[in-house]
Amino acid sequence: MPLPIAVLAGSAPERVDYVHDVAPMLKAHCASCHSGAEPAGNLDLTSAKSLARVIVPGQPDKSQLVIRLLGTDGNPRMPMGFAPLSDAQIGQIKSWISQGASTTGVVKPPHWAYVTPVRPPLPVVKNVKWARNPIDRFVLAKLEKEGLKPSLEAPRETLLRRVTLDLTGLNPTPSEIDAFLADKRPDAYERVVDRLLAKPQYGEHMARGWLDLARYADSDGYEKDLKRTAWKYRDWVIEAFNRNEPFDFFTIDQLAGDLLPNPSMDQLVATGFNRNTMMNLEGGVDQAEAHFNVVLDRVGTTGTVFLGSTIQCARCHDHKYDPFTQKDFYQLAAFFSNAEIDPVGSKAIGEEKWYEPQIEVPSPEQAAQRSKLRQELVAANQSLKVAAEALAPEREKWVQAAKAVPAAPLSGAVSVPAGETAKVLPDGSIRVEGENLGQAVYELTAKVPVGRTTGIRLEALPDSTLALNGPGRATSGNFILTKFEASFDGKPLPIREAAVDFTQPGYSAAATLDDDPNSGWALYGQIGKPHDAVYELASPLMTSGELKIKLSMTSSEWPQHTIGRFRLSLMEAEHPTQYAIPAEVRTLLTAGPDDPRVAAFYQTVSPTLVPLRVARDGKQTALNQLQAQIPTALVLRDKPATGPLKTNVHIRGEFLSKGAEVTACSPAFLPAMASSLPANRLGLAKWIVDPRNPLTARVEVNRLWEGVFGRGIVETSEDFGTQGSPPTHRELLDWLATEFIARKWNMKSMLKLIVTSATYRQSSVASAALMSRDPSNALLARGPRYRLEAEAIRDISLQSGGVLSLKVGGPSVFPLQPDGTWDSPYSGESWMTSNGENRFRRGIYTFWKRTAPYPSFAAFDATTRESCTVRRIRTNTPLQALAMLNDAAIMDAAHGLARRMQGTTGDDGRRLAFGFRCTTGRWPGVAERDRLVALLKKLRSRYAGDPTAAKKMKATPESAAWTMAANVLLNLDETITKE
């Protein structure tokens, strides 16, 4: 490989510039030690003045800088502890010193990526007939310059599997292979491409990579990593690809769909792109700082995804290698600084959390059903109101009875946990004092005289000795009564129903009658007030005897939530639950039955109105159930702007270190935003897709290219800057970028152009000489060959087994995964394996938990999605083989493939050949088939002699043999590799 400083015979050496060539190199490799306030050896190599101490201008071999970089004269080689500079880099430094070591710098043209692309002419080539479209002219020109020839076209079966994988992420079916082989029309292949681009699986496949960019996940991230509902955004991405939304609209919808005039529901959902950021709801987190980090993540992600730039490097200081300044970074942050925030919770009694908006996204059927139920609910409430107006006499009796409800409190022996004491107060109430030990059970035992008892009243009373006046002993003033029990003369006293005057959402009176230790009655929202719970007995108690009442507060999720002060009394009224009356209403009883507030409350408890309430409650329950099924989506929404959007530069990128105020603006070195654009996210989005922007079109066509060739024209697809890889075919990249814009940002059109090129159709078979010359296929002298992505490996396995569900969209699913993967100390969440077809959905629908990603995906290099990821770096590890051989989901697929092979007509060889074709897309050769037949024979013998092993697989010896043969087919390198 030639050095960058090439000296041609009879020509002057290329001038090396300190500012553009040498200084960035020294910063990258030496600044970690030789810079700052106390540089190692008191030598700051980022300072031209300090650097002059180790340089002899014109004499590189006598310069200490070169001597130490080479490690000559017995000195350790620098940079110490790190990889040495390459020969090319040291050669460049030596050339600079030889040229006089000037540190003045010269004006150089801007980096190629920061210049708006201009459509280049098609290069002249010798083998014109080989080229099928303009792409091939650029590729062939480079090959001819390098003295290489393109490879032959790939066999039709290979080409069909390649393009099917690249456009849908799935294998072609045997019938699709047969149809293509039988189609002799000259445009047969182009017809296949059109068919694949029209399949819904195209959108699923394309969305997989985009979700990595958008850092999509089904959980918040960070330590608790709580679940979130975000799958509507994932489905929007799939649908956008399938309907071939132009990339400029695709970009604008995601960055600023909410700011468009009259945005549709889909455009609002699209803004979930910037809501996929991790959300920190940990205890003690400064929510303002957490939101600051969210905003900066949005800036970095926008720069990476759409501009192919490492903008985030300028958070703390000016970018060391690219023209982005720290001011540029925070001017971009200003576009995202006006997000609507909803603080939830009170700092006075707990913690405040900052939430951003979410919206309901009902289907058309759900929206229609909800409208119908709401109308029916209005009618039911009206019927109830009309009937209640005729109940004045009955209401009068109820008011009089309600006034008499406060009866003599029960008194007797009170039992509380050891270490706590029960103090009886003058009003007959009981206050629990002493150490709050956590979970508790209180018991009161009292003698009941002869009489008629229909219910038991429990009053939870405020008290100044309790936090926030109680009535609970928790620091929030709350409690959770998890169970209420009563017995009479040692026998359980059945309770028909329970009623309370108020309950915290998610809790209920009825929950105090079940055995769930974490459900019950709680009062958050009305702390510091008296509250009633009434328990109606199944049948009146008429005789005297011993009554025992047990109050259990055993929540493990919320310990120490016990009652601080309470009072128990007996009731003798009919339907006693109608007297669980809020304190505010009870004070109004003296105003009489005609007080509107009293009448309104009586409507909710009147025994006469039970049928109408049941009918109304049925409608409400149906509406609630429907409402619970309506998905939500995380969306971005701005507050009304009162002027230009502004924020502060943060010194060293620290939240608390505010610097100068800046106004929203695009980076200074790139083409400016048009004055007609609004200075908000919508303006930013339109600037990003402005044809004058030199980066966006290049970045996206490079990403499309990488998706099918496994490597972009710019290999570092996340970094088009000076430290990124230079394009292997710069003119081709510029031609593709200008063509993309000319085709109105049509992604399907560009993909069709790429996959119908002769370049793409080449065989991937390469000679040893070509592999040695170009191991990464940068010159494109052969077709692409690389291991498939994690999700595709799972998908084609299930497809080969005949069990893959092709259902598109919907909530995330939970396929088989090893036990224990989701163990979490913060919640009782567990992986509940999906049933039915959800167990066999495509990998894109698998629930994505950031702290515990799906294990087999992680083994095959899937990301955690904690941040934007442009490229998944492919690895080859023994763990991948173990996953493929033992993963339960792969064994599911193996069972399915075994059944398919066994159901095929013909001998063993024919059946195995069918399985081979299902996994690889081609028929096996004679030698390959014979090896598979021999394997099956060996497996038959093994399981016939060890039927217990077959039973472990829940199979007969014969089906076990076929299953393991299928497992081998799924594990072939050719199965999990494109080609």
Q: What is the mean pLDDT of residues 835-846?
A: 96
Share of the chain above pLDDT 90, in %: 80
Q: What is the mean pLDDT of residues 812-822?
A: 90
How long is the chain?
Answer: 979
Helix (H) or strand (E) holding 765: none
Rounded Cα distance, 298 and 684, in Å: 13
The per-residue pLDDT for range 843-855, each reduced to its tens digit, is 999 999 999 999 9
| pLDDT value for 12 | 47
Q: What is the mean pLDDT of residues 791-819?
A: 96
Q: What is the mean pLDDT of residues 306-332?
A: 94
| pLDDT value for 6 | 36
Identify the bridge partners of residue 537 per DSSP, sorted by sequence position: 495
DSSP one-letter string for 204-259: HHHHHHHHHHTT--SB--TTT--B---HHHHHHHHHHHHTT--HHHHHHHHHHGGG
| pLDDT value for 2 | 35
Rounded Cα distance, 800 and 792, in Å: 12
Measured in whole angstroms, the distance separating CA 151 from the mean position of its chain's CA atoms is 41
Q: Does the pLDDT at position 11 exceed 60?
A: no
| pLDDT value for 37 | 75
| pLDDT value for 107 | 61
Q: What is the mean pLDDT of residues 126-148?
A: 97
Smallest Cα–Cα separation from 360: which of 562, 758, 91, 633?
633
243 against 603, higher pLDDT: 243
Rounded Cα distance, 329 and 314, in Å: 6
Q: Does the pLDDT at position 502 exceed 60?
A: yes
Residue with tokens 């402005």: 690
Q: Does the pLDDT at position 4 exceed 60?
A: no
CA distances from 565 to 428, 455, 641 (A): 11, 20, 50
pLDDT band at 438 (very low <50, low <70, confident <90, very high): confident
CA distances from 261 to 372, 766, 906, 908, 938 (A): 29, 54, 64, 64, 69
Rounded Cα distance, 687 and 677, in Å: 8
Q: Is 426 exposed, middle or buried (0-12, 13-18, 19+ CB in 10 A)?
A: exposed
Helices (H), 541-674: 583-586, 596-602, 610-629
Question: What residues have CB less than 8 Å from 548, skipping those under 6 apart?
Answer: 443, 444, 445, 486, 487, 488
| pLDDT value for 1 | 33
Q: What is the mean pLDDT of residues 305-324?
A: 93
Measured N-to-C along each axis, helices 681-688 and 247-256 cross at an angle, to the nearest 10 degrees, of: 160
Backbone phi and psi for residue 433, each to the nearest 5 degrees, phi listed first: -125, 175
Rounded Cα distance, 866 and 869, in Å: 9
Contact 93/57 with Cβ under 8 angstroms?
Answer: no
Measured N-to-C along each axis, helices 188-197 and 174-182 cross at an angle, to the nearest 10 degrees, of: 150
3-state secondary structure 612-636: HHHHHHHHHHHHHHHHHHCCEEECC
* Sign of CA pseudo-dihedral 135, 139, 144, 148: negative
| pLDDT value for 830 | 84
Q: Does the pLDDT at position 70 exceed 80?
A: yes
In this structure, the dihedral spanned by the alpha carbons of residues 821, 822, 826 and 828, taken in order and rounded to 10 degrees, is: -130
Rounded Cα distance, 889 and 790, in Å: 13
pTM for the predicted model, two decimal places: 0.81
Question: What residues have CB less than 8 Å from 962, skipping those under 6 apart?
Answer: 898, 901, 902, 936, 939
| pLDDT value for 105 | 66
* Mean confidence (pLDDT) of the chain: 93
Least confident of 2-16, 71-85, 361-375, 888-902: 2-16
pLDDT band at 108 (very low <50, low <70, confident <90, very high): low
Rounded Cα distance, 102 and 129, in Å: 51
Which amino acid is residue 719, in one-letter code?
D
Contact 713/705 with Cβ under 8 angstroms?
Answer: yes
CA distances from 465 to 349, 470, 564 (A): 16, 8, 9
Kindly state the DSSP code that residue 355 receives in the 8-state scheme: E
Q: What is the mean pLDDT of residues 691-719?
A: 97
Contact 634/233 with Cβ under 8 angstroms?
Answer: yes
Contact 467/474 with Cβ under 8 angstroms?
Answer: yes
Contact 634/356 with Cβ under 8 angstroms?
Answer: yes
Contact 536/579 with Cβ under 8 angstroms?
Answer: no
| pLDDT value for 106 | 61
Rounded Cα distance, 458 and 455, in Å: 10
Q: Does the pLDDT at position 104 exceed 90?
A: no
Least confident of 10-19, 135-144, 328-337: 10-19
DSSP one-letter string for 704-755: HHHHHHSS-SSS-TT--STTSPPPTTHHHHHHHHHHHHHTTT-HHHHHHHHH
Share of the chain above pLDDT 70, in %: 98
Rounded Cα distance, 836 and 803, in Å: 10
| pLDDT value for 549 | 97
Residue with tokens 């031609």: 735
Rounded Cα distance, 174 and 904, in Å: 13
Q: Does the pLDDT at position 347 exceed 80?
A: no
| pLDDT value for 3 | 34
Q: Does the pLDDT at position 968 exceed 90?
A: yes
Rounded Cα distance, 839 and 675, in Å: 53
The per-residue pLDDT for range 871-881, each reduced to its tens digit, is 999 999 999 99
Q: Does the pLDDT at position 25 exceed 90?
A: no
Question: What residues have CB less than 8 Å from 219, skipping those under 6 apart?
Answer: 225, 226, 227, 228, 848, 849, 850, 851
The per-residue pLDDT for range 530-544, each reduced to its tens digit, is 999 999 999 999 999
Rounded Cα distance, 374 and 285, in Å: 40
The per-residue pLDDT for range 635-676, each reduced to its tens digit, is 999 999 888 999 999 999 999 999 999 999 999 999 999 999
